[in-house]
Amino acid sequence: MTSFVVDGGRSLQGHIKPAGNKNAALPMVAAALLTDEPVRLKNVPDIRDVHTLTELLGALGVSAEWTGEGEVTIHAKDLRSAAIDPALTASIRASILLAGPMLARSSELKLPPPGGDVIGRRRLDTHFDALRVLGAEVEVGDEFVLRGKLHGAEIFLDEPSVTATENVIMAATLAEGTTVVRNAAAEPHVRDLCNMLVGMGARISGIGGNVIEIEGVDSLSGTTAEVGPDYIEVGSFIGLAAVTRSELTIGDVEPNDLTSMRIMFERLGVTCELQGRTLRVPADQSLEIRMDLGQQIPKIDDGPWPQFPADLVAIALVVATQCRGTILIHEKMFESRMFFSDKLTAMGARIVLCDPHRAVVVGPAPLTGSVVESPDIRAGMAILIAALGAHGRSEIHNIGQIERGYERIDERLRALGAEIQRVE
């Protein structure tokens, strides 16, 4: 098993650029199944989840090749409905994104249950309920069997699920008639997918909002599309700069995607300077938690876009351990995501886990190196940040979880001056 060995307590410095958005790249790869013409995607992050999804495409007769740095070309000319390796789908949540485009192109799909991060219950009901409204028949057993000719419909999603929204949009592009999706997710990666589909000839209105209308077309064409910068990486690097007391500049950001995270980081005493598409995090941060009116204890909580992203709650938690004051961290969406806090406690953090969704953090607390394990992508990155800010040496095991979402993270951090080594 590969691990990271980290010698922490060092100040970092330099410029880092976020990779392409993982959560945009995966549905965009899946959307390439909607046409029999080549699709070229740029700024694709070279991460494990992308490789797993392209491997799944190969089982469906689809050509998916890396044709340059950050560039993947997909050609689904010979798309077929075939058996999919359950071990592959069990390793990636995004395998569920094959449902919409496969139904639209071939009217049938047999899909083993998807896997992914173990962060709590992750419902698939929203996907299947919406696809049923579009005309699909869904059989649930050891594998999911979906079949049927799709037609436009009025759909209200029972939760603003990102992947369910993406599945419905992809399916509706080739359905007969008009589909209206209400309570749709509006995250930047949904926007990127929609813009790609429009470039392929889809007719979509309401992009970026919670009501999206799709007028079905007979066919879609190939296209060249670019994956946007990963705002979750940007938030991770803000947290890295704060915990290590470093000055970092983060280039090629999308300013409109950073509003809610900047507000929440300011609540922790972390300010950023935005200059065009470059974000500077100064080294001389106050790291003092800003109290609510009446000196009440403040909180950081997540919610659907444009609220604070759930994927950054773990990062906010580790930053809070280094801030003066007390704050409540409330993760509303997943009931297992906060359990990694015991690893930070073992490093010296002062955290009271109130229940599966809430933790009270009292800081600052000096962190010391420890032997820890990465439980999922975001908690793994939070632990890595803690190790870089801690005194002494840490060993982080199960780093494959981190590398599912962060491209060449050890190399990029070493370029900033981090002491991090990959060991077998």
Could you tell me the residue range of the domain that residue 403 belongs to? 3-19+229-423
CATH code for the domain in which residue 334 is found: 3.65.10.10
Q: Are residues 52 and 197 in the same domain?
A: yes
pLDDT tens per residue, range 339-387: 999 999 999 999 999 999 999 999 999 999 999 999 889 999 999 999 9
> Which of 117, 302, 311, 410 is flagged as catalytic?
117
Q: Are residues 192 and 281 in the same domain?
A: no
Q: Are residues 35 and 142 in the same domain?
A: yes
Among 168, 203, 226, identify where a domain stops.
226
Q: Are residues 217 and 233 in the same domain?
A: no
Q: Are residues 76 and 165 in the same domain?
A: yes
pLDDT tens per residue, range 290-313: 999 999 999 999 999 999 999 999
Q: What is the reported pTM? A: 0.93
Q: Are residues 26 and 116 in the same domain?
A: yes
Per-residue pLDDT of the chain (424 residues; tens, 9 = 90+): 889 999 999 999 999 999 999 999 999 999 999 999 999 999 999 998 999 999 989 888 999 999 999 999 999 998 887 667 777 777 787 889 999 999 999 888 888 877 644 434 457 889 999 999 999 998 887 788 888 999 999 999 999 999 999 999 999 999 999 999 999 999 999 999 999 999 999 999 999 999 999 999 999 999 999 999 999 999 999 999 999 999 999 999 999 999 999 999 999 999 999 999 999 999 988 899 999 999 999 999 999 999 999 999 999 999 999 999 999 999 988 777 889 999 999 999 999 999 999 999 999 999 999 999 998 899 999 999 999 999 999 999 999 999 988 999 999 999 999 999 999 8
Q: Are residues 242 and 389 in the same domain?
A: yes
- Give pLDDT, residue 115: 63
Q: Are residues 222 and 239 in the same domain?
A: no
DSSP collapsed to 3 states, the chain: CCEEEEEECCCCEEEECCCECHHHHHHHHHHHHHCCCCEEEECCCCCHHHHHHHHHHHHCCCEEEEEECCEEEEECCCCCCCCCCHHHHCCCHHHHHHHHHHHHHHCEEEECCCCCCCCCCCCCHHHHHHHHHCCCEEEECCCEEEECCCECCEEECCCCCHHHHHHHHHHHHCCECEEEEECCCCCHHHHHHHHHHHHCCCEEECCCCCEEEEECCCCCCCEEEECCECHHHHHHHHHHHHHCCCEEEECCCCHHHCHHHHHHHHHCCCCCEEECCEEEECCCCCCECCCEHHHECCEEECCCCCCCCHHHHHHHHHHHCCCEEEEEEECCCCCCHHHHHHHHHHCCCEEEEEECCEEEEEECCCCECCEEECCCHHHHHHHHHHHHHCEEEEEEECCHHHHCCCCCHHHHHHCCCCEEEEEC
Q: Are residues 36 and 170 in the same domain?
A: yes
Give the count of domains, the chain: 2
Q: Are residues 161 and 252 in the same domain?
A: no
Q: Is 117 a catalytic residue?
A: yes
